[in-house]
Structure 1
């Protein structure tokens, strides 16, 4: 009976947890899309340029760009389009990550459409900056298309702007083979007799849109940032609408998250920056950094820059840019448990090469570690069942006197060396592990489009034929038969327990196949453990 109640407890905890996550995701008011949204976004093209420390900025007159066509850059990982006006990255397709399984179209993370904007902007502001609400610098380029050639490790894309006072600004994008991060540098050549004052900023601009998450897949879409005092903090779109960020810090970073993918600006870690956010007309959110004012002496050439990452949540690659940027792979409050599970999963995959088999090994490992507690659980349950006649005698003797009944039962438990809560401990230990693994599977981009065997071609989505959920229900039914219901169980509760395998099968139909595989293998291992433990208990005279 205790085992059946434990299954009910798991179901209750799991459903409660999912409902809470969905409520958290849905409670924020979503902005309505109006007919003026497109026009508003176009009008806000320059309005989102941050204000420099020097409010009396004197922005030089912009020059006409040689060509208004977007600049195309192709590497082995990125297919990027750069707008020569401002030098913004207005499209970024991830070549090695496909939009759909078994399709050739790449996943497009950054894009600019009439009804949706998600781009990376950067510029120079201040007294001698070239970007402001009045206009953006119009750069000239040598050619419209750049490609990282075979055998080439780096590709530089220079954009040049010459101000009316003769100062030359060269914005250089440096792409590296095999990487998703882009180095963005401004090389300022001061040809005047006066020093220049300017600041670099980098921001990510995105149209606010509803999240596509649901109760079983509570994914996050929105902003995040890091400061010297806060290693990682989400900043949701509704929070941006309520209050602008303004956090001075050394180093830090800003990002926009979208399930398995992230875009992030990472300024120099040894410089002072301002982390900020803003919202244009309630529909377009900006989160970015603004560096300290830099001085370029007369006749001097100085370089100011930052790193921009646009790609999957690859923890190793993100950690190379910043020691805390890998925290965008958000495991929630159970991160301390999820991190070793993720590392163990990666270890198994390193020599097996199959994520499904790695999940199975994780299951064996977890169940093996918990076996002593599982054995203690079933032993405690068996002793409790053997005490049922004595418990009934106490009920007959004390009747409705709950106080004397409780005292008598505690004395009996002490005498028989039985812990009535002994059957619950393994369940409470397994639930955090289950939830931690759930977040590992939800957040690990490695499992996106990762095949297992036969019909399972993507462990990050539900089983297309629902085979795993059905097998899960069957194994739960077998577990029930191995642990018959107590005749003293409440009829309603007994009826619910009979339907639990069916309910769980339906419940798991919308879960990722990798998670259902973990639960299924856990049931199979539990059945084997039950047979072994029960055989040992029967030898000791415990039924």
Structure 2
């Protein structure tokens, strides 16, 4: 009894700690960050890879070589060009040709807000996409720092299906590099093409690099109740999807070669990714820059351009939502950034079914209800077997007690007698567990579908639930879910006789209701509908058993 009381106290303490920590995160005082010049910190360490494949040392940089840290004066403001399409609002730094800002106009930061979601940003937690050409003759390997490109104009607005932004740099000896960003209508994918025209009189060697750079101070995704990943990831020929978080980058540099692949930075619903040509051999790398910026990127093979010749090198930059179809078209494994965990092979078909239902009814909340009904209907035979097995075991409770009274502490004889009783009564003691174990992967997979799918972000249901991806503002669904769990508990009498264990069981609906307070409304809706269907199924199963003379109480 004392040990059970201790377990209960530990459980209550754990729940209290989780609640306190979540309250601190939501409402507690925020730590004061030290004031530091972002520009000066980056001037010490720009993070651009060197020309040598085996090293990732930073190249020399000067005051003007700081991508993303553009000062608020007229000279440096002329460094930035802005590109506006229907899907992207992008700023490109002419020093290096880096994407230093990317807003998503079609994804507001909050429902009903006119402020777009900011994916890449030069301040408030540096997060930029760098790219260029290193190598023996690469402009990004110059001792003068990153190359300064020129552009025909400073503002671009898409007015056709495609929009090309050419940036030009020319060396003193006649090598011209044109870095062209190609934007496409209704797309978050940008083609980045380098055209090298060599009129220097000598062969030149260049090597493409592309990397994502983000401060390690970026907040973790989700919360303790609903954790979501925020950090780096990559895909290679051998591993389609591997997380490589900021802690991994601080501990050890990634260094591997692959044919094709990708590198990315992930948030809950969004991802930025560099994707090389998938038939190219590349080197994937990571590093910690200036002790505070995590970098993950790739370098291509050196490209030699003879005198009088030209060559083209290409890559793709994706900045947008985790749309599985789009990401799969870009690179193998990039769609797995919609992280369903080890049950992805179940989650992906369930997501396909959810999308199909939404296309029919036009409401994601109704689609969640329908997919829950379908899944519960398919698993009804397992549920029926589970409940019948549990009822038969409950009916054996008096005989089990007689065996305990007869054999006392003799566990060996007790076990033998129990097996004989099960055999005589034709009861499988695992009959109630196996159906449940078969159901759990399906429900867990559906849980991850509802948690990870960007389609549910800002998705309206009805009445007060206007966003299925955030918690119920009035906590109606969590309360209803807790009530349904309590009814299920009453409908399923237990053989537990210990008072302390009974109190723990009675406390469970309350504890779960507390956890559900922070769950997205779509997930709570799924659990509530599942409980309601289980109640109906239990009533039908028990009625059928009573007709066959099987006691259910």
TM norm structure 2: 0.87
Q: Secondary structure at the match of 2:126?
A: strand
* Alignment correspondent of 1:351: 360
1:387 aligns with 2:408: no
Summarize the Cα distance change of 1:506–1:228 in structure 2 as closer, same or farther, 3 Å threshold.
same
Q: Distance in 1 between matches of 2:351 and 2:478?
A: 24
Q: Secondary structure at the match of 1:131?
A: helix
* Alignment correspondent of 1:156: 164
Q: Secondary structure at the match of 1:433?
A: helix
Checking the alignment, whether the CA contact within 8 Å between 2:184 and 2:190 is kept in structure 1 is yes
Deviations 1:278-318 (A, max 9, x none): 11121011111111110112111211110010111111111
1:188 aligns with 2:201: no
Checking the alignment, whether the CA contact within 8 Å between 1:52 and 1:199 is kept in structure 2 is no
Q: Distance in 2 between matches of 1:129 and 1:175?
A: 25
Q: Distance in 2 between matches of 1:484 and 1:81?
A: 63
User: C-alpha displacement at 1:388, in angstroms?
Assistant: 2.3
1:72 is aligned, of 78, 82, 105, to: 82
Checking the alignment, whether the CA contact within 8 Å between 1:48 and 1:133 is kept in structure 2 is no
1:454 aligns with 2:440: no
Q: Secondary structure at the match of 1:94?
A: strand
1:81 aligns with 2:113: no
Q: Secondary structure at the match of 2:122?
A: strand
1:308 is aligned, of 311, 314, 317, to: 317
Q: Distance in 2 between matches of 1:76 and 1:36?
A: 35
1:105 aligns with 2:105: no
**Runs of 5+ consecutive residues of structure 2 not aligned to the other structure:** 1-7, 23-30, 66-75
Checking the alignment, whether the CA contact within 8 Å between 1:98 and 1:105 is kept in structure 2 is yes
User: C-alpha displacement at 1:448, in angstroms?
Assistant: 0.7
User: C-alpha displacement at 1:323, in angstroms?
Assistant: 2.2
2:451 is aligned, of 442, 455, 458, to: 442
* Alignment correspondent of 1:223: 232
* Alignment correspondent of 1:467: 476
Q: Distance in 1 between matches of 2:356 and 2:229?
A: 27
Summarize the Cα distance change of 1:133–1:453 in structure 2 as closer, same or farther, 3 Å threshold.
farther
- The root-mean-square deviation of aligned C-alpha atoms, in Å, is 2.8
Q: Distance in 2 between matches of 1:366 and 1:314?
A: 24
1:132 aligns with 2:145: no
Q: Distance in 2 between matches of 1:139 and 1:330?
A: 38
Q: Distance in 1 between matches of 2:416 and 2:172?
A: 92
Deviations 1:511-540 (A, max 9, x none): 111111111011111111111111111111
Summarize the Cα distance change of 1:375–1:297 in structure 2 as closer, same or farther, 3 Å threshold.
same
User: C-alpha displacement at 1:396, in angstroms?
Assistant: 3.0
Q: Secondary structure at the match of 1:307?
A: strand
User: C-alpha displacement at 1:67, in angstroms?
Assistant: 7.7
Answer 1 or 2: higher relative contact order, Cα 8 Å, separation at least 6: 1
Checking the alignment, whether the CA contact within 8 Å between 1:54 and 1:126 is kept in structure 2 is no
Q: Distance in 2 between matches of 1:497 and 1:394?
A: 26
Q: Distance in 1 between matches of 2:313 and 2:471?
A: 47
Checking the alignment, whether the CA contact within 8 Å between 2:261 and 2:332 is kept in structure 1 is no
Checking the alignment, whether the CA contact within 8 Å between 2:451 and 2:523 is kept in structure 1 is no
* Alignment correspondent of 2:304: 295
Map 1:416-431 → 2, pairs under 5 A: 416-431=425-440
Checking the alignment, whether the CA contact within 8 Å between 1:67 and 1:140 is kept in structure 2 is no
Map 1:407-418 → 2, pairs under 5 A: 407-418=416-427
User: C-alpha displacement at 1:40, in angstroms?
Assistant: 4.9
* Alignment correspondent of 1:27: none
Number of residue-to-residue matches in the alignment: 513
User: C-alpha displacement at 1:154, in angstroms?
Assistant: 0.5
Q: Distance in 2 between matches of 1:199 and 1:250?
A: 16
* Alignment correspondent of 1:3: none
**Runs of 5+ consecutive residues of structure 1 not aligned to the other structure:** 1-7, 23-30
User: C-alpha displacement at 1:187, in angstroms?
Assistant: 0.8
Deviations 1:149-181 (A, max 9, x none): 1xx110000111111112211110000001101
Q: Secondary structure at the match of 1:116?
A: coil
Runs of 4 or more off by more than 6 Å in structure 1? 64-67
* Alignment correspondent of 1:502: 510
